[in-house]
Amino acid sequence: MIKTNWHTHTKRCGHAVGEDEEYVLAAIQGGLKTLGFSDHAAYRIPYPPERMDISETTGYFSSIRSLKEKYKDQIDIYLGMEVEYYPEQWDVLSEYRRNLDYLILGQHNVFFDRVSAYSINDPDTLNRYVDMLEAACEHHLCDYIAHPDVALYRYQKLDGSVRECAERIADISLKYNMPLELNTGSGVHYGMHRYEDGMRYAYPTRIFFEEFARKKCPIIIGLDVHDPKRFLDDTDLNRALSVISGLDCNILEDYDLPEAAKKNKALFY
């Protein structure tokens, strides 16, 4: 059912496998019509397990643009990055914003390389995480928010504080016309985990999408591909869809993300 994916990585990030062209060929084989590459953004300070080195960006750009031309009659390819809101890296982020087709926001830390989103387990830090999402949208840094519920990775109880944050994110989405992602990546790939309040996938989480559905937030399905073979297997997609089963989610089809990016770029500051 997926014809478009904007959330695709390369082995440069340090935790993906396969050559760039393998991703393109697998996407074509899987029936995709549009493929967006959005590898983890490089910053001035290296972090090899999590993102490419800044010296690799030139090769990344040229490779994807070359593949775009080579396969233009078979699939539409776009060049983006998955960025974080890091004011300390604004000069680098500004270059990406100006020069790439689109940016998605995947806020993996609350501060630059500190306080991992995967370690949050208290309301104050969770709200600080949402503050970062809001700041990114306020500056028009991104064109959709990837895995908005990644901060629940280690959150042990999906209580009222979690629902309040979900409502905040929904309001941010509506205020800035910012799509939110139903992520079908590692949060479901490794199965369910036991938390204090029961078994669930790390993300996506139903409590967030209940609020997103209630407020009719725009939703984009993102495959978050780190291995070309994922384009040929719907297991993780079906797991993610099971999380939102029965909810009236506003899932976008044929959304023109590069066109939305042009409008956001004009407002970026």
* Strand 144-145 to 102-105 pairing: parallel
Task: Answer positive or negative: Cα dihedral of 239, 241, 243, 246.
Answer: negative
pLDDT confidence bin for 37, thresholds 50/70/90: very high
Give tens-digit pLDDT for 71-84.
999 999 999 999 99
CATH class for the domain made up of 4-267: alpha beta
> Average of pLDDT values for 198-224?
98
CB atoms within 10 A of CB 224: 27
* Residues above pLDDT 70, as percent of the chain: 100
> CA-CA distance, 190 to 201, in Å (whole number)?
8
Give the N- to C-terminal CA distance of the chain in Å, as an integer.
37
pLDDT band with cut points at 50, 70 and 90 for residue 92: very high
Banded pLDDT at 43 (limits 50, 70, 90): very high
Taking only the tens place, the pLDDT of each residue in 172-201 is 999 999 999 999 999 999 999 999 999 999
1 pLDDT above the threshold of 80: no
Is the separation of the CB atoms in 229 and 24 below 8 Å?
Answer: no
Burial class (CB in 10 A: 0-12, 13-18, 19+), 55: exposed
Q: Is 241 helix (H, G, I), strand (E, B) or coil?
A: helix
Model confidence band, residue 147 (pLDDT cutoffs 50, 70, 90): very high
Cβ atoms of 183 and 2 within 8 Å: the answer is no
Domain assignments of the chain as residue spans, ordered by start: 4-267
